[in-house]
Structure 1
């Protein structure tokens, strides 16, 4: 028999859509925005070139254009989602591209106030790095969180410093831990994301990350398999050291991610298990050729077949 899940629905993991229905009483859709930020590991502050896997253009929707005002991007995004979902409900402004706290507070205020002024926008999802968070900015986000939904997505990608150095993240795992704990200290929701298959990591290394992350005060978490994107520095690393990389067949990944979430804190809301990239940009030696929703259906079927769930062995 299946466990009595603590998050109050029948899915075998703490799912993002159900989380928002519990929080808002209806569907909530994220609208991506490119506000023209950069990163300290791109402009020379800590490094040059950015993360070796990074190509924001491969994942940004067509309406995302830093040349457009934030309000215009949001309004175009809302219209896009209204056509796709008919009635997507409320919206969150998702500042996804690059590091969205990497600016003086005055600029952040102007950008985020502009986003929250758009009708139907009920909150912010802000992607950032561990080394671009400070108490002054957190105090501002705490103020916003009194009347809006606010979550900071602090990228980790890996819990191992050797990996972070190799992929040119420009920060340590401890910096990520400190930033997550400080954000939670201010009462602000905090999420993170992890990539499976990064060079030099074994499957045991990755499974151990479930226990490491479960100790942190996280609210949300994203996972995805490694993808090799045309034009990134990681392509060159792969060409020179292909044996260091792990690209999963889908059925093997389903088994792996099941073992991973069995060890994961069941309180964490899981937002994503898989990543998609435009076929013309995806150079991964193994590709699944399925949409995200199709892969998710296969995962849920697998979880039911093996009678597993998030936190089973937590």
Structure 2
């Protein structure tokens, strides 16, 4: 891959551009429901999940491969496809079951690679061995739902694992040369703007492949709805855009940006009521970068 250099013309190292460069064509993720649960739901660590999760485990758009390819074929008729195990914890099962499910996807001729979303405390030695094996066969990345580096916030959101678990997972995955994508949520209860930017700085100090950032959505069926029914993470699109641009400026250009907004379906979205306006938010981010004459990583070494 060529070296990444963000500037005023190409201000963000987007995953879309990376994948097009890597595979030579438009590459689309297919969000799949692998039928997994989560240790934070089945009673081994908790029963209600993280307080922001919907009943579907933050995988509200997940479906099957053939159905999604058919759905997307009109928009991207000649695209590549990555299988994305999205909702709940997609390494939380016996290795034999994981192997069967992963390979059923890898062996599909319509699939060019695989992305697996999980928790850093659900990666055993045997699972690392399986992921190493898969990484040597096909394009792979692992997504780790960190959300915040601050332990008091982690306890409040019922994350049920310590920061050390994340640190160990990043270390092990890097040793195996497996790409990692980290999830951060902005606007968690009690966190200041500096708290959020500190989380960004922390994860960027490691050799991560990608970063997902989005605002906290309060959705129907989540514990947030019960515990904080009137909570609004950001008062306006402008407030959120300002934070994202501040974050982008301190993210190294080598890190691919996978998300800067959120995707809660409108029927279950409670707040912020404008967060479904993804295009407006993204346009606002690009406009603010232009107004600042800025780009991803401009302040990274400051």
Scaled to the shorter chain, the TM-score interval is: over 0.9
Higher deviation after alignment, 252-261 or 49-58:
49-58
Q: What SS does the aligned partner of 2:112 have?
A: strand
Q: Please, what TM-score do these two structures have when normalized by structure 2?
A: 0.92
Q: What SS does the aligned partner of 1:199 have?
A: coil
- In structure 1, the residue matched to 2:81 is 91
Structure 1 contact 210–261 (Cα < 8 Å) conserved: no
Q: What SS does the aligned partner of 1:30 have?
A: strand
Q: Does 1:227 align with 2:213?
A: no
What CA deviation, in whole Å up to 9, does each residue of 1:206-249 have, x standing for no partner?
11222211112210110001110012111222148x4xx63241
**Cα distance, 1:86 vs. partner?**
2.9
Q: What SS does the aligned partner of 1:293 have?
A: helix
Which sections of structure 2, spanning at least 5 residues, go unmatched? none
Structure 1 contact 56–97 (Cα < 8 Å) conserved: no
**Cα distance, 1:205 vs. partner?**
0.8
Structure 1 contact 276–291 (Cα < 8 Å) conserved: no
Q: What SS does the aligned partner of 1:132 have?
A: coil
Q: 1:226 to 1:111 in 2, by over 3 A?
A: same
Aligned CA-pair RMSD: 2.0
- In structure 1, the residue matched to 2:37 is 38
Of 247, 254, 257 in structure 2, the residue corresponding to residue 260 of structure 1 is 247
Q: Please, what TM-score do these two structures have when normalized by structure 1?
A: 0.89
Q: 1:59 to 1:141 in 2, by over 3 A?
A: closer
- In structure 2, the residue matched to 1:80 is 71
Distance 1:98 1:7 in 2: 34
- In structure 1, the residue matched to 2:289 is 303
Q: 1:26 to 1:287 in 2, by over 3 A?
A: same
- In structure 1, the residue matched to 2:101 is 111
**Cα distance, 1:163 vs. partner?**
0.9
- In structure 2, the residue matched to 1:16 is 15
Structure 2 counterparts to residues 283-298 of structure 1, below 5 A: 283-284=270-271, 286-288=272-274, 291-298=277-284
Structure 1 contact 156–194 (Cα < 8 Å) conserved: yes
Structure 1 contact 32–60 (Cα < 8 Å) conserved: no
Distance 1:256 1:225 in 2: 10
- In structure 2, the residue matched to 1:195 is 185
Q: Does 1:171 align with 2:166?
A: no
Structure 1 contact 262–309 (Cα < 8 Å) conserved: yes
Structure 2 contact 116–142 (Cα < 8 Å) conserved: yes
Which sections of structure 1, spanning at least 5 residues, go unmatched? 65-72
Structure 1 contact 55–232 (Cα < 8 Å) conserved: yes
Q: What SS does the aligned partner of 2:98 have?
A: helix
- In structure 2, the residue matched to 1:272 is 259
Q: What SS does the aligned partner of 1:131 have?
A: coil
- In structure 2, the residue matched to 1:210 is 200
- In structure 1, the residue matched to 2:299 is 313
Distance 2:109 2:296 in 1: 36
**Cα distance, 1:39 vs. partner?**
0.5
**Cα distance, 1:313 vs. partner?**
1.0
Distance 1:312 1:248 in 2: 27
**Cα distance, 1:30 vs. partner?**
0.5
Distance 1:290 1:280 in 2: 10
Q: Which runs of 4+ in 1 moved over 6 A?
A: none
Q: What SS does the aligned partner of 1:121 have?
A: coil
